[in-house]
Structures are given as structure tokens and as C-alpha cells.
Amino acid sequence: MANVGMKGLQYAILNKNGTTYDEVKTMGGAISASISPNFAEASLYCDDTMKEYISSFQSATVSLTVDDDDDQVFSELLGKTIDPITGVVSSNVNDNPPYVAFGYVVTKIKNNVQKWRSQFFPKIKFKPFIPEAKTKGDSVEFSTITVEGMTIANDTGIWEMHVECDTETEAFEKLREFFVDGEIEDER
């Protein structure tokens, strides 16, 4: 199936117990997501041929493009401070971004039949960024925000979960379930 859309980028702070999440919130308008898994690999050669090969997940680099760098959202995601009186956002060398879960819904199509995939990552830490800025020239251009992070396995070894659904509504319900209990209940 080909991916033809993406929406509903959501996140929740991972609680100190490492297994539950705070309130699910919207990160911003979803534009794109790129996930690049990193693996530790080893090959065993003997008698002039490869006899064994092993690959083990280490982490995944995540790059998300969103439509807005909302200070409330990204201060929370990056461990920054907002002065309650002045609204000034401060980045400090001692900032410690929290681990969060995030997910979104992908629209897919094959043979003119649409399906929706709930995509979920249970443990990620985002990196600080400064949005790019550009002067207006002869034409007007939109500038979007790209935030990067590193997803790792949670305490049970899971680093990614997804499920394909027949309706968009069902896909968002399943995504919400991932945040609540981190597992899929197969109702089909």
C-alpha cells in the first residue's frame, strides 16, 4: 500500500514509572515524518563464506516536520522554561528533555481502497532546535519546523507499534489506546 497522507501528530510525557503517560496532546500540524532505525550488526565468516548474520535494534533517528513551533508544546518537549510573567522562553545548558511517546495516523491506498495506519513510538527524546528564518524575497514562502529526536526501546523492548485500520476513526481510537495501555486489542 502507498502512503498518501499523514495527520494527527500526538505526544504524551512518559511518567517516571516508565510505563504510563501523562495527558495526550497535539504536537502541531503534521507535514512529514522520517524514521531511520539504527542497528548493531555482526557477520561471522568461515570457510570463505558468511555463515551467520545478526542485526539488533539500537535506536531510531526521528525527523518530524510540523507547521508550528508553539512555545508551550516545544518547551514541554525540550525541557525549557517559560517565564510566567514575560512569556520569555529560556534554553539552558541544564535543560533535560523528558522521554515522550508520539504517534500519528497515515492514510494508505491500494487498488483504490483506503486504509489507515496508527503509528506509535513509545519512548523518544527530542533535541533542541532553532527554527530557520528567511527574508521575504520576490515571492512568499512558508517556513516549517523540523524537530529531531531519538527513539529507543521501552522497558519491555518495544520501540515501535502500528496497526492497520479500515476507517480513520478506528485508526485514531487505536492510536489513543497505544497511549493508554501500549498494546493492541484485536477486535476483528
pLDDT of residue 147: 94
Q: Which three cell numbers stand for residue 59?
A: 535506536
Return the H-helix or E-strand segment holding 180: helix 168-181
pLDDT (tens digit per residue) in 27-52: 999 999 999 999 999 999 999 999 99
pLDDT of residue 187: 40
Going by pLDDT thresholds of 50, 70 and 90, the confidence category of residue 182 is low
> What beta strand segments (E) does the chain contain?
2-13, 25-26, 30-46, 49-66, 81-82, 89-90, 100-110, 113-126, 145-151, 161-165
Residue of 10, 60, 55, 59 whose CA lies nearest to 35? 60
Going by pLDDT thresholds of 50, 70 and 90, the confidence category of residue 186 is very low
Name the pTM for this structure.
Answer: 0.88
pLDDT of residue 188: 31
pLDDT (tens digit per residue) in 51-68: 999 999 999 999 999 999
